[in-house]
Structure 1
Amino acid sequence: MNREQISRHAHADHPIAAPLDDDSVRQLLERGVPRADARVLDLGCGGGEWLLRALTAHPHLRAEGVDVSESSLTHAREAAQLAGVQQRLVLHQADAARFTAPHAFDLVLSVGATHAFGGLLPTLAAAREHLAPGGRVLVGEGFWLREPSPEAAEMLGDLSDLPTTLDHVVADGWTPVQAHISTRQELDAYEWAWTGSLASWALDHPDDPDSPQALAAATTHRDEWLKVYRDVFGFVCLILRPTSG
Structure 2
Amino acid sequence: MNRAQISLLAHAGHPIAAPLDDDSVRLLLDRALPREDARVLDLGCGGAEWLLRALGAHPRLRAEGVDVSGDALARAREAAHALGVRDRLVLHHEDAAGFTAAHPFDVVLSVGATHAFGGLRATLEAARRHLAPGGRLLIGDGFWERAPSPEAVEMLGDLGGLPAVMDTVTADGWTPVGGHISSRGELDAYEWAWTGSLAAWALDHPADPDSAEALAVADTHREEWLRVYRDCFGFVCLVLRPTSG
Shift of 1:180: 0.3
For 1:169 and 1:94, the matched residues in 2 are separated by 26
**Counterpart-to-counterpart distance in 2, 1:181 and 1:146:** 14
* Pairwise CA distance, 1:164: 1.2
Shift of 1:47: 0.5
Q: Distance in 2 between matches of 1:97 and 1:2?
A: 20
Q: Distance in 1 between matches of 2:211 and 2:168?
A: 43
Question: Within 2, Cα distance between the matches of 1:60 and 1:108?
Answer: 17
Is 1:27 matched up with 2:21?
A: no
Question: Where does the alignment leave 5 or more consecutive residues of structure 1 unmatched?
Answer: none
1:2 aligned partner, one-letter code: N
Residues paired across the two proteins, number:
245
1:169 corresponds to which residue? 169
Q: 2:210 corresponds to which residue?
A: 210
CA distance in 2, matches of 1:182, 1:56: 24
Q: Which residue of 2 aligns with 1:178?
A: 178
Report the Cα offset of residue 159 of structure 1: 0.3
Q: Kindly provide the amino acid, as one letter, of the partner of residue 196 in structure 2.
A: G
1:28-72 CA-to-partner distances (Å, cap 9, x unmatched) read 000001000000000000001000000001000000000111111
Structure 2 CA distance, aligned partners of 1:8 and 1:102? 29
Offset at residue 106 of structure 1 (A): 0.5
| 2:30 counterpart of 1:54 | no
Residue 3 of structure 2: aligned partner? 3
1:168 to partner: Cα distance: 1.2
The one-letter amino acid of 2:74's match is T
Match of 1:124 in 2: 124
Q: Which amino acid aligns with 1:240?
A: L
Q: Distance in 2 between matches of 1:144 and 1:3?
A: 24
Report the alpha carbon displacement of residue 109 of structure 1 after superposing the two structures with TM.
Answer: 0.2
Matches within 5 A, 1:100-119: 100-119=100-119
The Cα of 1:5 is off from its aligned counterpart by: 1.0
Distance in 1, Cα, partners of 2:6 & 2:38: 34
Q: CA deviation at 1:2?
A: 1.4
Could you tell me which amino acid in structure 1 is paired with residue 169 of structure 2? V
TM-score scaled by length of structure 1: 0.99
Letter in 2 for 1:176: P
1:224 matches 2:227: no
Structure 1 residue 102: Cα displacement: 1.3
Q: Which runs of 5+ in 2 are unaligned?
A: none
Once the 2 structures are TM-superposed, how far is the Cα of residue 24 of structure 1 from its aligned partner?
Answer: 0.3
Residue 193 in structure 1 maps to residue 156 in structure 2: no
Residue in 2 that maps onto 1:36:
36
Runs of 4+ in 1 over 3 A off after TM superposition: none
Q: Secondary structure at the match of 1:240?
A: strand
Q: Distance in 1 between matches of 2:130 and 2:98?
A: 11
Q: Quote how far apart the aligned CAs of 1:208 are.
A: 0.8
Deviation at 1:4, TM superposition (A): 1.1
TM-score of the pair, normalised by structure 2: 0.99
**What is the aligned-residue identity percentage?**
76
Paired residue secondary structure (1:222)? helix
> Secondary structure of 1:108's partner?
strand
Q: Using the alignment, how far apart are the partners of 1:3 and 1:222 within structure 2? A: 16
Secondary structure of the corresponding residue to residue 139 of structure 2: strand
